[in-house]
Chain A
Amino acid sequence: MLKSLLARLFDWLRTAAGMTILATIVITVAATIDRGPYILVNTIVTGGMLALVSMGLALVFGVMSIPSFVHGEYFMIGGLTAYFIITPLQNYLQAHPNGVLNVLAPFIAIGGATVVGAVAGALTERLVFRELRRRNRTNWVMNCFLLTVGLNVILVNGHQLLFGADFKGIVNYFTGPPLQIMGVYVSLDRAIAFTLSIVVIVGFGMFMRYTRTGRAIRAVSQDETGAMIVGINLEGIMLLTMALGCALAAVAGSSLLFMYPSYPTSGLEPLYLAWFVVIIVGLGNVMGALVGGFMVALFKVLTVEYIGSGWDFVVPSALIMLVLLLKPNGIFGSEVRGVLDQ
């Protein structure tokens, strides 16, 4: 039994997916040994965030065939909402430092931000993409791309117009001594942010795999007509998918408010990084985006560490070029059907 398990493991390791995951783990460990445990911590925390944003992007692209260049804005909206919820709460808590609210407040902020992110996504779908779907389905991919670029401009400038260009951040969510895990000091905020991202990812994965609605979403991404003829409400699924994808980005943006303050263009970096992930792993591949999130986070951390922080976009860009040359469908395989045919 063990032998056949090992044999299957070795077979998988020889695939592109296996090799890259193995390489990622090995490189992380090597760099951690070389430079210190903060490499591992940074990779994991950034990875969790990037995985969430990228999975949302892959979901929207895979199910709705929308190459969203506005996805980062939901990260920004998440951070912004969390800021406006937590700041008054923290002011109140300064006068009342004891009590359950101390622990609950960050989660209220993150939860509220998630809801707002989901609503923002739902509104986008309802007001923009549903209208386009009714009017014209030719050149869908290109049209959606252009629409999202325009939306991006609106949201970035909307933020500046309504809330100003200042950085809106917090020092921390949780006050208290950092945790000590295997000789490494990890701040409470980072530990909780990472744990939350894992919980959300696992919950999302189980939803997609084991619930009727999750299966319906997967069905729509594989064959829209087939989904209709088995009785799935296409409009409802589109709305839910967009809301879900944007909520994932909002969770990332809100849970990391202590690390990434919100400001008008705070969504651009997550957007670009998420696109790096999605292109490298294969368009529309949601589970691949999960792994890819950690991979690209690792590249970023290593580049900043070994080369310099100004280079942190160069390495992922170079990797995209390599992937597009050698394995254009992405490392884990693309799951969009004939994107260019539409």
Chain B
Amino acid sequence: MLLEVKNLNAGYGFLQILRDVSLKIDQGEYVCLIGPNGAGKSTTMKTLAGLIKPISGEIIFEGESIAGLPGNQVTSRGISYISEEMNLFTNMTVHENLLMGAYTIKDKQAIARQLDFVYSLFTRLEERQKQLAGTMSGGERKMLAIARGMMSMPKLVLVDEPSFGLSPQMTQVVFDSLDSLRKSGVTILVVEQNVNLSLSVTDRGYVIENGRIGIEGKSSDLADDPYVRKVFLGV
């Protein structure tokens, strides 16, 4: 089991969001976390990424307990977090942002290879290598955030709302890139507003509501589930 989360409780200051959240992700899986707004999807991601310190509960990655570790130590253990806000370095170029993404990698040749891989997935980014990140359009910045997250050669990628604010073509490019990432052996946990899309590409899914995990199961089963269909797919 690559990642095991047991009874995770977390929140912001006095406001507790997550209540006894538990999930499991196996090596190579493509898992989605779906739920209504404010349910705790982003909070879950941020806590897994080490940006929020949990109140209680366990996060076990590759057998090691990582709950409460700061974000940079989570990254160096092989978990890459691609935030909804993107958190790009706006005064650096596309190229510099990508190099920063590889901050934890010492091997220069590995970095060069990863750069080639990432540019092959996002040709738009290669064209705009020297452009400052702050001057790019929303879609391009999203692509850059995902590309930067890939640069650290992670074992597990946490993607928060990859398609948010993107046009259908860009969404396709982004999900194609996640697919390529998956094929290269990386495990992916994705939080996504577009329930239809996420259930169609992922293996398994968890439904989170009011900070608690509700239904879980294979994505194809969830897509057929009457509750999911009513609440999320408007059927």
A: which residues have CB within 8 A of B? Answer: 212, 215-216, 218-219, 222-223, 225-234, 335
Q: Give chain B nearest CB distance to A294 CB in angstroms.
A: 24
Interface pair A231/B70, CB less than 8 Å apart: no
Q: Give chain B nearest CB distance to A227 CB in angstroms.
A: 8
User: Known: A225-B51, A225-B83. Contact between A230 and B101, CB under 8 A?
Assistant: yes
Chain B residues near A215 (CB, 8 Å)? 96, 99-100
Chain B residues near A234 (CB, 8 Å)? 70, 72
Check: B175 CB closer than 8 A to any chain A CB. Answer: no
Check: B90 CB closer than 8 A to any chain A CB. Answer: yes
**Which residues of B in the span 107-153 have a Cβ within 8 Å of any Cβ on A?**
148-149, 152
* CB contact between A230 and one of B85, B91, B148 (< 8 Å): that residue: B148
CB nearest to A236 among chain B residues: B72
Q: Give chain A nearest CB distance to B16 CB in angstroms.
A: 19
CB nearest to A229 among chain B residues: B81
Q: Mark B49-66, 1 if CB is under 8 A from A, else 0.
A: 111000000000000000
CB nearest to B134 among chain A residues: A222
Interface pair B87/A219, CB less than 8 Å apart: no
Chain B residues near A212 (CB, 8 Å)? 103
Interface pair A222/B72, CB less than 8 Å apart: no
Q: Mark B142-172, 1 if CB is under 8 A from A, else 0.
A: 0000001100100000000000000000000
* CB contact between A225 and one of B87, B103, B104, B149 (< 8 Å): that residue: B87
Q: Mark B31-71, 1 if CB is under 8 A from A, else 0.
A: 00000000000000000011100000000000000000011
Q: Mark B75-92, 1 if CB is under 8 A from A, else 0.
A: 110001101011111111
* Interface bin, chain B: 20 to 34
* CB contact between B104 and one of A218, A227, A230 (< 8 Å): that residue: A230
* CB contact between A219 and one of B71, B80, B85, B92 (< 8 Å): that residue: B92
Interface pair A228/B88, CB less than 8 Å apart: no
User: Known: A231-B76, A231-B152. Contact between A222 and B103, CB under 8 A?
Assistant: no
User: Known: A228-B70, A229-B71, A232-B72. Contact between A219 and B83, CB under 8 A?
Assistant: no
Chain B residues near A227 (CB, 8 Å)? 72
B: which residues have CB within 8 A of A? Answer: 49-51, 70-72, 75-76, 80-81, 83, 85-92, 96, 99-101, 103-104, 148-149, 152
Q: Give chain B nearest CB distance to A80 CB in angstroms.
A: 37
Interface pair B100/A230, CB less than 8 Å apart: yes
Q: Give chain B nearest CB distance to A54 CB in angstroms.
A: 20
A125 to B23, CA, bound (A): 39
Interface pair A228/B72, CB less than 8 Å apart: yes
10 additional A-B pairs beyond A223-B90, A225-B51, beta carbons within 8 Å, are: A212-B103, A215-B99, A219-B89, A219-B92, A222-B90, A227-B72, A228-B71, A229-B149, A231-B103, A232-B72
Chain B residues near A216 (CB, 8 Å)? 100, 103
Q: Give chain A nearest CB distance to B189 CB in angstroms.
A: 15
Chain A residues near B149 (CB, 8 Å)? 229
Chain A residues near B104 (CB, 8 Å)? 230-231
Q: Give chain B nearest CB distance to A37 CB in angstroms.
A: 39
Chain A residues near B103 (CB, 8 Å)? 212, 216, 230-232
Q: Give chain B nearest CB distance to A219 CB in angstroms.
A: 5
Most buried by B among A215, A228, A234: A228
Chain B residues near A218 (CB, 8 Å)? 89, 91-92
Interface pair B83/A229, CB less than 8 Å apart: yes
Interface pair B91/A335, CB less than 8 Å apart: yes
Q: Give chain B nearest CB distance to A254 CB in angstroms.
A: 32
Most buried by B among A212, A216, A219, A222: A222
Q: Give chain B nearest CB distance to A46 CB in angstroms.
A: 30
A233 to B73, CA, bound (A): 8
Interface pair B96/A231, CB less than 8 Å apart: no
30 A-B contacts (beta carbon < 8 Å):
A212-B103, A216-B100, A219-B92, A222-B91, A222-B92, A223-B88, A225-B51, A225-B71, A226-B86, A226-B87, A226-B88, A228-B71, A228-B72, A229-B49, A229-B71, A229-B72, A229-B75, A229-B83, A230-B72, A230-B100, A230-B101, A230-B104, A230-B152, A231-B75, A231-B103, A231-B152, A232-B72, A233-B72, A234-B72, A335-B91
Q: Give chain A nearest CB distance to B48 CB in angstroms.
A: 12
Q: Give chain B nearest CB distance to A333 CB in angstroms.
A: 10
Interface pair B87/A223, CB less than 8 Å apart: yes
A230 to B91, CA, bound (A): 16
Chain A residues near B87 (CB, 8 Å)? 223, 225-226, 229
